[in-house]
Structure 1
Amino acid sequence: MDHPHATHLEHDSHHDMGSTNAMAVSATLHCLTGCAIGEVLGLMIGTALGLGNLATIAIAVALAFLFGYALSTLPLLRAGLGLGAALAVVLAADTLSIATMELVDNLVMAAIPGAMEAGLVNPVFWLSMMLALTVAFFAAWPVNRYLLARGKGHALTHGFHGAEPEGARRFIPDLATSALVATIVAFMLGGLVVSIADELESPSEVEAPSDTGGHAAGVR
């Protein structure tokens, strides 16, 4: 017969594991949205300026870190921390997660033939980006879980979430992870739909053969 105290401890252990897993999912999705914003914006800038792959990737990675840190800093500023203190917490909490995502994301994009050269109005780009971000999520999740289980990573920021803002801090946006993820998914699906529509509407570059011995129709 199981001892009630042992059963209670086992229940608490399962509950803590489930809570840690859920927190790791939320933390990973939060980082992923910032990375996705930076990645897409960086690739748009690189494409618009006609930059090479290395320069474009460098811009995308820099913007991914920038937006990843920014999205994590806002709730801390809203909770009352100063900018310096908030950045110190975010750097300790998010750097390893974002670095893991960026490494995996760019490796996947580089491994898919034609993904980097496809351009923004091409289904190959959007499908490759979706695959790369999905793989990056599953690569970063265990990293965040490991950190959370040891009181590090996003565990450093959770104590500040939910605090009631005072004064002008009330105007700092409170961006829920679910809303950010929904926005990114909608944006990427929109890009995919637009690129597919462009592919379907593009006129064929193959001209029909002429019946006049090589002369264009309508010659005198």
Structure 2
Amino acid sequence: MEHSGHEHDHHSTGSTNAMAVSATLHCLTGCAIGEIVGLIAGTALGLGNASTVVVSFALAFVFGYSLSTLPVLRAGLAVGAALSVVLAADTLSILTMEVVDNLVVVAVPGAMDAGLVNPTFWWSMMLSLTVAFFAAWPVNRWLLARGKGHALTHGYMGATPTGSRRLVPDLATPTLVAAIVAFMLGGLLVSIADDLGAAPTQGHAAHAPLRP
């Protein structure tokens, strides 16, 4: 019986850890989309660093809540009830991610001033999101162990929608993660290629003979 209880505890811990990883990735996808859109918008519009951080911060919550609301709506809850569940489930996780994410980006020299075709812009974003994941995972695990956080929405995941609920998009977390990673890697490669293309041009210009 003691051995059986130990196996049950081990299984429970493993299940909680796995759920915490899934919950953190789910939150991270929404935060990442908001961060990317906010930083790109801030850079493209020439906003100051403080304004860009505020825009990114706000959009991370918007996209984070939106993605978490979709499966709850598909399960049959009304919009108001779904938002109430999601706000209770995701707020602490998203807040943790955003605070850590923005602190990392601000701490990386030149990251906030880098343009969209600057490798620093993309690798600093990848770094900040990675650090944010590891910061939010223990928060989600702590919440799940107490029946809070994503435990509140877990029962709605994978529910079979009926009627018009079938029209609500079913966006799988692995698919979103893959798309975000591919997008950021694409941005990084384009910026590196731009740097490599600019370097020979600058070198040629430096050695070009002066003309009257």
TM range (shorter): over 0.9
Moved more, 196-205 or 54-63: 196-205
**CA shift digits 1:164-199 (9 cap, x unpaired):** 101111111111111111111111101101111111
C-alpha deviation, 1:209, in angstroms: 6.2
Aligned length: 209
**CA shift digits 1:63-82 (9 cap, x unpaired):** 00000000000000011000
CA spacing shift, 1:162–1:209, aligned 2, 3 Å:
closer
| Structure 2 equivalent of residue 204 of structure 1 | 202
Is 1:162 the counterpart of 2:161 in the alignment?
no
Q: Where does the alignment leave 5 or more consecutive residues of structure 2 unmatched?
A: none
| Structure 1 equivalent of residue 86 of structure 2 | 90
Is 1:113 the counterpart of 2:90 in the alignment?
no
| Structure 1 equivalent of residue 62 of structure 2 | 66
| Structure 2 equivalent of residue 12 of structure 1 | 8
Larger radius of gyration: 1
> Superposed, which structure 2 residues align to 1:31-180 within 5 Å?
31-180=27-176
Give the SS at the match of 1:14: helix
State TM-score, norm by structure 2: 0.96
Give the SS at the match of 1:204: helix
Distance in 1 between residues matched to 2:52 and 2:74, nearest whole Å: 33
Is 1:26 the counterpart of 2:25 in the alignment?
no
State TM-score, norm by structure 1: 0.92
Runs of 4+ in 1 over 4 A off after TM superposition: none
| Structure 1 equivalent of residue 191 of structure 2 | 195
Write the letter of the residue equivalent to 1:30.
Answer: H
Distance in 1 between residues matched to 2:18 and 2:29, nearest whole Å: 17
C-alpha deviation, 1:207, in angstroms: 2.3
Distance in 2 between residues matched to 1:93 and 1:37, nearest whole Å: 19
CA spacing shift, 1:158–1:127, aligned 2, 3 Å:
same
| Structure 2 equivalent of residue 213 of structure 1 | none
